[in-house]
Amino acid sequence: MIARQAGNCATPGVRRLAQELTDQLAPLQSALENPGFALLTLPSTPVILSDDRSLAVVGEVFARGAFPPCSIVAPLSGSDPWRAASTVSGSLWGRYAMICSSLDGETCAWLRDPSGSQRLYAWNLGAHFVLTDAITLPLIECLDLRPRIDWHRLSQLIAQTEMASAFSALQDVEIVTPGRLEVCAHHQVTRHVVWTPASFAQSPTPADPGEFRQTASQCIDHWLSDHRRVTVELSGGLDSSLVAGLLANAANRPSIQGLNIIPQSPGGDESIYARSVSEKWGFGLIETAVCPSELDYLGLLDGTLTVEPPVYGLDVLADALSCDLADAFGATRIFSGQGGDAVFFQPHTPLVASDYLAAHGPTPTFGRLIRSCAKAGNRSVWTVVRKAAWPDPTLDRRPLPLGLGGPLAQMAWEDEGLTHPWAEEAADLPAGKRMQVAMLANCQLFHRATRTSRRGRLVHPLLSQPLVELCLRTALWELVPDRRERGFMRDCFEQALPGPVRNRRGKGEASGFYNRAIATHLATLRPFLLDGVLASKGLISPEALAGLLDVEHLIWKDDHPIIGSLVALEIWARQWS
């Protein structure tokens, strides 16, 4: 946690605030202090300081080269935050925040790591900024100030829930964009792009299987570090199976325990694939069948406050099962396969051929890509050609039912929609790469605080910065060379995947399970939403929503994403109201 004076108040104001925080939020302790600036951390938090004690890198960091992180940080100075941020983001990676100030206290700055795995929020208190990885009740009580809800922003998030990881719906609280340096000087904060996906996607390079295997293995090895007992959330899909294979082949292989959750719904049972992974690598696998009645979203009402609504982590059942297994196994790290769809580019879209057309023109390879896309999606060749020639990189978003928004939301939706800063910076990229950047931006949802993520236990290694950069540099037609979903990765990591997973077509389907979970709990969910905060504040129309909250409707319509999002936002609104 960092407190920095934003105005020209006397320096003791920061010291007084820092002392109050350390007194009331023990065991917080001072890690760094300069005029108008204080950095407070928990004793267990890794901190690397510069030689002049004007800069700190807080969190887990790994070096790209032979030099250890401390030797890279040592010569840096808070007096030159741009150089420091460029060096840190280019030479280090991991889960960290860089915090610095000039020795005279005139300038301070902060950087959230480019992967976004380190949460970082800037809370403007007026005379001070407080930088923190969580806004908790004890912190609120200590500061005697509670952030208020920005109802306009919350209305926007109803229509664009995926933006909840980038745009805060709390007044005066900003979610710091990963890879962006924020400098506080001369009574204002300026923002500077240090790292952005667009810079790596501008000049596609040929895919090198050896480089991919080496990079992925190194990322896994770093995240393992000295963790000797780990669990892996093993769905049976390509991404989690790859993570499990990399763990099993790590230089210092840990004891591994897999968890496969089997939702009782058509297409939900992927246990045969998860079993093939555990059998290939010889580690234990817990298979847990779950019924829709066991998933009660409202269990999150008693959860801790989080800046982001619980869009990720709404499945409290899966979150609890993963956490409980890790506790029982004594695991100090939980691995997931989240992010693989974006990094390895799962959609078999005409935009793959569109990017090739923009780079090389209508060569025979373009024709091959068109045919493979048509076969994969069971579409006509001419349909694919038309979409490749006139591409639309917009991510599919389920349209909201007509009239769902209340008066306040309808006004908010008339404004221009929210756009992630990464997407803005990618505006000049080919359409396919723009889609990949948008998918990566949405993956920031996975870094929200959950039970499994406490104490830094949960990691998503496929979203590691070196692997993300490598995939961004690789042309989409290399990642998706044929009709197979993520064909390049299946070939590249052939030895790390069992045959059933490597040759599998398609993905598991859990939509029916979540629809049934909502239908099972309609007796509590209907009044929760229809008589809730969103309805009373004019953000949703109870009359329009009532039509969705019907058992027969849920049988025929796959509307659980809309209803689930509304439940997540309603839970969040009640907690902060």
The tens-digit pLDDT sequence of the chain (577 residues) is 665 554 545 556 788 888 889 999 989 999 988 888 889 999 999 999 999 999 999 999 999 988 999 999 999 999 999 999 999 999 999 999 999 998 887 889 999 999 999 999 999 988 888 999 999 999 999 999 999 999 999 999 999 999 999 999 999 999 999 999 999 887 788 999 999 999 999 988 888 999 999 999 999 999 999 899 999 999 999 999 999 999 999 999 999 999 999 998 877 789 999 999 999 999 999 999 999 999 999 999 988 999 999 999 999 999 999 999 999 999 999 999 999 999 999 998 999 999 999 999 999 999 999 999 999 889 999 999 999 999 987 777 778 887 999 999 999 998 889 999 999 999 999 999 999 999 999 999 999 999 999 989 999 999 999 999 999 999 999 999 998 888 999 999 999 999 999 988 777 677 789 989 999 999 999 999 999 999 999 999 999 999 999 888 887 888 888 999 999 999 999 999 9
Closest CA to 41 of 176, 134, 124: 134
Separation of alpha carbons 463 and 397, rounded Å? 23
Q: Looking at this protein, which amino acid is placed at residue 328?
A: A
Separation of alpha carbons 518 and 545, rounded Å? 14
- Find out whether 106 and 129 touch, Cβ atoms under 8 Å: no
- Enumerate long-range contacts of 319-325, CB under 8 Å, 24 or more apart: 319/450, 319/451, 319/452, 320/451, 321/259, 321/261, 321/288, 321/290, 322/231, 322/233, 322/259, 322/451, 322/452, 323/451, 323/452, 323/454, 325/231, 325/257, 325/259, 325/286
| pLDDT value of residue 33 | 87
Percent helix, strand and coil across the chain, each to the nearest 5: 45, 15, 35
> Could you give the 3-state DSSP secondary structure of residue 432?
helix
Instruction: Quote the longest CA-to-CA distance of the chain.
Output: 71
End-to-end CA distance of the chain: 24
Tokens of 290: 């779950």
Q: Looking at this protein, which amino acid is placed at residue 130?
A: V
Q: Looking at this protein, which amino acid is placed at residue 196?
A: T
Q: Looking at this protein, which amino acid is placed at residue 169?
A: A
Separation of alpha carbons 570 and 310, rounded Å? 10
Residue 236 gets the label, from left (phi > 0), alpha (psi -120 to 50) or beta, of left
Tell me the domains of the chain and their CATH numbers: 2-195 (3.60.20.10), 200-343+440-502 (3.40.50.620), 351-401+420-438 (no CATH), 511-576 (no CATH)
| CB contact set of 486 (below 8 Å; sequence gap of 6+) | 238, 340, 344, 345, 346, 479, 480
Residue 250 CA neighbour count, 13 Å, CB half:
25
| pLDDT value of residue 538 | 95
Tokens of 186: 């001369």
| pLDDT value of residue 66 | 86
> Could you give the 3-state DSSP secondary structure of residue 198?
helix
- Find out whether 234 and 277 touch, Cβ atoms under 8 Å: yes
Rounded to two decimals, what is the model's pTM?
Answer: 0.94
Separation of alpha carbons 97 and 240, rounded Å? 27
- Find out whether 450 and 314 touch, Cβ atoms under 8 Å: no
Report DSSP state, residue 149. Answer: B
Closest CA to 39 of 173, 125, 135, 129: 129
| pLDDT value of residue 400 | 86
